Structure 1
Amino acid sequence: MTHSESPKSTEPRLSASLVLVNSHNEILLVQRNPQARSFAGQHVFPGGNFDAKQDTSLEWTAIRETFEEAGLLLALSDSPSTLLDVDLTQAREAVHGGQTTFSTFLTNNNLRADVGALLPFTTWVTPPPSASRRFRTQFFIAFLRDPSSDGLYSGREEHLPTPDGGQEVIRTRFLHPESAIEEFRSGKIGLYPPQYYILETLRPILTGSSSTESQRNAVQMLSRAAFGRMVINPKFLLVNDGAEAFVYEGDELRGGPKGRLHRMVVERKGAPFSQMNLRRNFDLFTQCPVEVHVPKL
């Protein structure tokens, strides 16, 4: 299941997370169970650990976990009616209960995981102090397709996300990036730096309440540029008269040009992070630092 691992682990575990955007420019957020070992009670994008026994890629991991945690399925079928006839709730319960695997469920219903719909959207590595719970998480972004757009079927716009009965998730909903950030700032929801960073990145792009082709193209271009391949290894430092910040690659404090800012200034009062302020002053398409090494699955 999501983000569970041996406490003796020192190397970051491979994981994947999906930023799923609907036709209203809203992003799927799930609230983790307050009793969870990782990200307890926080709002995150659906995702979890790569499972070598059943996942063929990190894209597959992201799709499987989104189905398990939120009940939304990104799958392809040669016939739109095939997916409409599938009882997703029953299938999800069977996967959770170990009665079948996600792969078997797809095969038995002549479905294929829509891995081609996922675009890379940065990778984040947990800082070393959390040695027993470190992750190397590949974030992907995908848009729910309109079922009438072509002969294949992916997702279901009319199918609302639902929690998994509290096993890992207690709440699921779509929120516009602007609304999610406002709810965080007012203390209504909790976020971690990677989620806040991605929401802030998407906020000026996904404006309005209806997804447009130009907006989707902008996200695709961002994914295909240096930003999509960027690997972020945060370093926690004191900046600006003692303010706490996670400093990222390319920042002047990490060897970048003088004046280059790439950091998240944070405040901690009660919640893990009560406030966050992203300071980033470079072009996302051409100046993102890119890591050459890609870990093997």
Structure 2
Amino acid sequence: MSGSVRPAPSAWRRAASLVLAAGWPRTRAGAADFRLLLLQRAASQRFLPGAHVFPGGVLDAADYSADWLGLFAPHHGPPRFGLGPARPAAPAPAPPVVTPPAEAAALPEDVAARICAVREAFEEAGVLLLRPRGGGAGAGAGPGCARAAPPDLAAWRARVRGDARRFLQLCARLDCTPDIWALREWSAWLTPALVGARRFDAVFFLCCLRQPPPVQPDGSEVVDYQWLSPPEATRSFASEKIWLAPPQFYEVRRLDNFTSLSALHKFSLDHALEGTERWLPITYLTADGRIQLLPGDELYIHDSSFLEKILSTEKTTDEVMKEGQKFHRIVIYSNYTYGIYVTVESKDKQMYPKTFVGSKSHL
């Protein structure tokens, strides 16, 4: 195994994604009773063009703004805004160079990230996850509901896309706050070196809803959407009907551990209490593909001097796989054929996907 040194990383940009799981009638016994919202990005987008993704985007200075304090008051305020006790910050495998907000942050990182996720769901999909001011935080409540979109949805989305500060104005007009309490920390991913200059430090939140809200793609950044169960998303990816980036595919497979929305919601409550690990995949190029190594894998190197390198070997992917035993990795055989190999044990309230090997018959 050798390493090809990369230049020093460009700054990771803080980002937030929202894994939206909504109740759905079972199609057969044993099938999942929920679906995931996947948005198709426009082909013109610089990052992941044409991919199906969870709603999300980069944190804006407006998401940290002190102006939110007046909207949350007097019922919720700093330091925790009713989110419960703070947990230790999840360490990154290496110290990331993160772009700070453009102005002094009045809100803690996890509150600002939740506001960002709610704002992006509105901008991209027209979904409003708001709660009337004065409503209880409801930390142990069951799956909730989205708020009906305003009649002038298109106009407000245009305003918010042009200036993220306008989202607070919309919330004030509706006498609501972003429903930050319905979002549970689920995972966090750092963009690996191979992807290119655009690097993100993205937290994924999970939100469970009793029923799917109406979705209206903005037609600019998002051109289409689908509600899919984890097995449906896997099959659609394998049949090349949709394309998922490795982190999204990993999360879809992780969610395939659940067939019940209520069980998923309950697990997310317990999982969030443990905090979230931040994963920086290490790219390992083989003679015929590439592997993304994740923490816990026997080839994952925790020395920060290696984390900005692309490892390589002259061996084939199958040869590398036959030599190992302790796996936590995503094997990328082709654009539409991934394998997830997990032999490490889950710890605390974490849950890994089961080992999954995509069909390689068409390679």
TM-score range, shorter chain: 0.7 to 0.9
Contact 1:11 1:131 in 2 (8 A): no
What runs of 5+ residues in structure 2 fail to find an aligned partner? 1-7, 25-33, 65-106, 136-146, 303-323, 352-363
- TM-fit CA distance, 1:287: 8.9
Whole-angstrom CA distance in 1 between matches of 2:199 and 2:164? 30
- For residues 66-81 of structure 1, the aligned pairs below 5 Å read 66-77=121-132
Counterpart position of 2:221: 168
Contact 2:16 2:116 in 1 (8 A): yes
- For residues 49-128 of structure 1, the aligned pairs below 5 Å read 49-55=58-64, 56=107, 57-77=112-132, 83-84=147-148, 86-87=150-151, 89-90=153-154, 91-98=156-163, 101-128=166-193
2:205 counterpart SS class: strand
- TM-fit CA distance, 1:178: 0.8
Q: Does 1:40 align with 2:49?
A: yes
| Corresponding pairs, count | 256
Whole-angstrom CA distance in 2 between matches of 1:134 and 1:260? 28
Change (3 A) 1:248 1:79: closer
Counterpart position of 1:222: 271
Whole-angstrom CA distance in 1 between matches of 2:204 and 2:152? 24
2:116 counterpart SS class: helix
Counterpart position of 2:294: 248
Whole-angstrom CA distance in 2 between matches of 1:184 and 1:232? 23
Whole-angstrom CA distance in 1 between matches of 2:35 and 2:331? 25
Counterpart position of 1:159: 213
Whole-angstrom CA distance in 2 between matches of 1:17 and 1:238? 28
2:121 counterpart SS class: helix
Task: Provide, for residues 108-133 of structure 1, a one-character-per-residue CA deviation record: whole Å limited to 9, x for no partner.
Answer: 11011001111111111111244521
Query: Bigger relative contact order, structure 1 or 2, given CA contacts below 8 A and separation 6+?
Result: 2
Counterpart position of 2:140: none
Aligned partner of 2:125: which letter?
Answer: A
Counterpart position of 1:23: 23
TM-score normalised according to structure 1 size: 0.78
Choose from 220, 229, 232 the match for 1:179.
232
- TM-fit CA distance, 1:159: 3.4
Larger of the two Rg values belongs to structure? 2
Counterpart position of 1:283: 345
Contact 1:230 1:288 in 2 (8 A): no
2:38 counterpart SS class: strand
